[in-house]
Amino acid sequence: YCYTCETHTPPRCSHCYDCNVCVLRRDHHCVFFGRCVGFRNYRYFLSCLLFMWSGLLYATLMNAEVFIVILKEGLTLHSVLLLLIPWIMLVSG
């Protein structure tokens, strides 16, 4: 029983206070999508992460010449940030 929704819920169901609904097998509330990741949308969440990572890898491979030029000029704080910012943005959101 969920006291917030005041309804009977199945086992392994938990209430999300951000969405204000009960979610079956709730994993977490995703801030990127603004929804809860649970039983019915877990595979879509993982496939979205896979496509984002593959897109970033593709962009990195397509810009490999730029990365090589930056590395040949010498490692400065600016060049390191240019290389790491896309990865940091993907991981941190």
Count H helices, E strands: the chain? 3, 4
Bridge partners for 21 per DSSP: 16
**What would the pLDDT profile of 6-61 be if each residue is shown by its tens digit?**
888 888 888 988 888 898 888 888 887 888 998 888 888 899 889 988 988 888 88
**Tokens representing 52?**
């984002």
- Report the DSSP pairing between strands 28-30 and 21-24: unpaired
Q: What's CA 13's distance to the chain center, in Å?
A: 23
Q: Which of 47, 39, 44 is nearest to 21 (CA)?
A: 39
**What would the pLDDT profile of 24-38 be if each residue is shown by its tens digit?**
888 888 887 888 998
Q: What is the pLDDT of residue 93?
A: 64
pTM over 0.75: no
Q: Which of 16, 35, 37 is nearest to 27 (CA)?
A: 37
The catalytic residues are 30
Give the Cα separation of 93 and 88 in Å (integer): 8
